[in-house]
């Protein structure tokens, strides 16, 4: 079956949100990052809009250098809350086009639309529709790439930025990739580029034309991966973000089997506390709460309740656990183990937080 994988990447994301909220910045160079303090500021550029890129400014450049290149630019400190909000809204929209949805950073996601689109015409329509919807509802632009593998879709989304759509026909992916510089392949940075160049490999076509065994000989494991990408052999599926971590759970075995309600309640409380430390730390929301009980003799029971909306509420959860436990409270048999599982997780903000931390910590 044909595979249609879409990669969506927001354009100049943080800067686009600022321009959206301050229309007077439209058409001006906007730089998000540390305070430039007349060119003496420390820290780096988070991102900048396409106007600012004309001055050679880019992510991770020292802010003082950016200032030297463009003192008339508009320099803004990042407003992460706003970006997370916009990112969540965009991800909801992308996800609404396909259940096979994988968010990979604060501003990019894959969807598999093979089951939704019959041909490339459909893909084009869907992509245009998605772009329009994001623009209409969130007020920013996205670039989209479509191909039959994840890596080519990602290369394609980067091909016509900003606000571009690049659809690579399955039978023409080699023509598309061949003339591109090897740094277009995610993972080949400046350092590896030099190394590849020394071996005479400059464009992706050079990789396609090198036999696999030679690639492995010269570049090892990485050579094999890059060769697979260039030859359309990246078989990775679009993983469902929601399913990346399916559940979090904790169980405790009593020192001695018990029927003492106070002791059981204390154990549930302890487990619930521990789980919610994790919930807070990783900013996880859950919808399904499961009680687990093991009676003497190893008989195990589970009982679940699913909430209408994602929750992080410790009190509500312990009440539901006690509600579910009622069924067993009159049982004569003693209890050996109790546990709580939280599932049906929303881990999106988790990905975003990790992402932000990476940027903040450099």
Enzyme catalytic residues = 108
Q: Among candidates 187, 231, 225, which has minimal Cα distance to 205?
A: 231
> Nearer Cβ to ligand TTP, position 162 or 205?
162
Examine residue 355 and tell whether it contacts Mg ion (CB under 5 A): no
Within 42-101, the residues that bind ligand TTP by CB under 6 A are 46-47, 59-60
**Residues 6 or more apart from 236 whose CB is under 8 A from it?**
149, 150, 151
According to CB under 5 A, which one of 18, 107, 112, 234 is a site residue for Mg ion?
Answer: 107
User: Residue 102 CB, nearest distance to ligand TTP (Å)?
Assistant: 16
Strands (E), the chain: 5-10, 30-33, 45-48, 74-76, 101-105, 108-112, 142-147, 165-167, 247-258, 286-295, 300-311, 335-343
Q: Which residue from 25, 34, 90, 107 is in contact with ligand TTP, where contact means CB under 6 A?
A: 107
| Options 20-28, 90-98, 107-115, 134-142: segment touching Mg ion (CB under 5 A) | 107-115
DSSP codes, 33-47? ES--GGGT--SBEEE
CB of 346 to ligand TTP, least distance (A): 21
CA atoms within 13 A on the CB side of 11: 26
Could you tell me which stretch among 4-12, 235-243, 308-316, 334-342 binds ligand TTP (CB under 6 A)? 4-12
Phi/psi for 246 (5° steps) reads: -80, -35
Give the gyration radius of the chain's Cα atoms: 26
CB nearer ligand TTP, residue 58 or residue 281: 58
Residue 284's Cβ-side half-sphere holds a number of Cα atoms within 13 Å equal to: 24
Compare residues 87 and 272 and give the one whose CB is closer to ligand TTP. 87
Distances (CA, A) of 234 to 3, 222, 291: 12, 13, 41
Q: How far is the CB of 50 from Mg ion (least distance, A)?
A: 11
10 binds ligand TTP, rule: CB under 6 A = yes
Is 9 a binding residue for Mg ion by CB under 5 A? The answer is yes
CB 144 within 8 A of CB 152: no
Among 7, 150, 161, 294, binds ligand TTP (CB under 6 A): 161
The stretch among 8-16, 131-139, 277-285, 341-349 that binds ligand TTP (CB under 6 A) is 8-16
Choices 10-18, 165-173, 203-211, 222-230; region in contact with ligand TTP by CB under 6 A: 10-18
Residue 14 contacts which entry, Mg ion, ligand TTP, none (Cβ below 5-8 A, type-dependent) = ligand TTP
Q: Could you say whether residue 12 binds ligand TTP (CB under 6 A)?
A: yes
The least CB distance from residue 349 to ligand TTP, in Å, is 15
Residue 359 binds which of Mg ion, ligand TTP, none (CB < 5-8 A, kind-dependent):
ligand TTP
Cα torsion angle, 103, 109, 110, 116, sign: positive
Selected binder of ligand TTP within 5, 11, 165, 350 (CB under 6 A) = 11
Centre a 10 Å sphere on the Cβ of residue 147 and count the other Cβ atoms it contains.
Answer: 28
* Residue 118: C-alpha distances to residues 108, 122, 148, 167, 298 (Å): 24, 6, 13, 14, 52
What does the binding site for Mg ion look like in residue numbers (CB under 5 A)?
9-10, 13, 107
What does the binding site for ligand TTP look like in residue numbers (CB under 6 A)?
9-14, 46-47, 59-60, 106-107, 161-162, 359
């Amino acid at each position: 079956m044909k595979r249609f994988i879409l990669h969506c990447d927001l354009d100049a994301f943080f800067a686009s949100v600022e321009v959206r909220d301050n229309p007077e910045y439209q058409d001006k160079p906007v730089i998000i990052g540390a305070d430039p303090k007349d060119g003496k500021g420390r820290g780096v550029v988070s991102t900048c809009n396409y106007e600012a890129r004309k001055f050679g400014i880019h992510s991770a450049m020292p802010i003082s250098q950016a200032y030297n290149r463009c003192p008339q630019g508009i320099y803004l400190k990042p407003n992460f809350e706003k970006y997370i909000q916009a990112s969540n809204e965009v991800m909801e929209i992308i996800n609404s086009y396909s259940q096979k949805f994988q968010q990979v950073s604060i501003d990019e996601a894959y969807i598999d639309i093979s089951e939704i689109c019959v041909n490339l015409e459909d893909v084009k329509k869907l992509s245009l529709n998605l772009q329009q919807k994001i623009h209409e509802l969130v007020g920013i632009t996205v670039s989209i790439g479509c191909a039959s593998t994840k890596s080519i879709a990602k290369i394609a989304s980067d091909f016509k930025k900003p606000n571009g759509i690049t659809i690579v026909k399955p039978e023409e992916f080699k023509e598309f990739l061949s003339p591109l510089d090897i740094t277009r392949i995610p993972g080949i940075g400046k350092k590896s580029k030099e190394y590849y160049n020394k071996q005479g490999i400059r464009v992706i076509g050079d990789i396609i034309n090198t036999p696999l065994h030679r690639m492995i000989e010269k570049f090892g494991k990485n050579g094999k991966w890059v060769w697979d990408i260039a030859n359309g052999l990246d078989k990775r599926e679009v993983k469902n973000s929601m399913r990346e971590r399916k559940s979090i759970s904790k169980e405790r075995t009593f020192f001695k089997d018990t029927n003492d309600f106070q002791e059981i309640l204390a154990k549930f409380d302890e487990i619930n506390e521990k789980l919610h430390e994790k919930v807070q730390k990783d900013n996880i929301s859950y919808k399904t709460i499961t009680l687990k009980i093991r009676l003497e003799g190893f008989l195990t029971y589970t009982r679940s309740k699913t909430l209408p909306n994602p929750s992080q509420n410790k009190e509500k959860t312990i009440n539901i656990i006690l509600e579910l436990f009622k069924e067993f409270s009159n049982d004569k048999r003693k209890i050996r183990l109790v546990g709580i599982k939280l599932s049906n997780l929303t881990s999106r903000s988790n990905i975003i937080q990790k992402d932000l931390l990476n940027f903040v910590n450099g």
